[in-house]
Amino acid sequence: MVYEKTNASPTINRPDGTFGFSYMEYDADFESFHLSAKKEIERVQKSTGLQSAMSGENVIHYSSLPWINFSSLSHARSFAIKDSCPKFPMGK
């Protein structure tokens, strides 16, 4: 399937060392996207726990965790839900 746009669901680092999930809608206008992304980052940084982010077929999930060394990663997921979203974890 080909989509007109792809949205993002990155993990967001919090000041207390935890992280949260976010959801960012694609916007062709960079300034609009940047403003919306900043608001989402602030929202997640003020939250606690791990609330699920929106998902869908046109979403890429990614995590940038430069403070963690790892050689492999396994994503927890429910195989009862059809999910083929790309997931990109990056560390040191």
Instruction: Give 10-54 as a 3 state SS string.
Output: EEEECCCCCEEECCECCCCCHHHHHHHHHHHHHHHHHCCCCCCCC
Tell me whether strands 7-13 and 59-64 are parallel, antiparallel or unpaired: parallel
Residue 86's nearest CA partner among 3, 4, 6 is: 6
Domain extents for the chain?
7-69
Strand, coil or helix: 57: coil
6-36 pLDDT per residue, tens: 898 888 989 998 888 899 999 999 999 999 9
80-90 pLDDT per residue, tens: 666 656 666 66
Whole-model pTM: value is 0.74
Q: How many Å apart are CA 80 and CA 82, to the nearest integer?
A: 6
Q: How confident is the model at residue 37 (pLDDT cuts 50, 70, 90)?
A: very high
- E strand or H helix at 69: none
Q: How many Å apart are CA 25 and CA 39, to the nearest integer?
A: 12
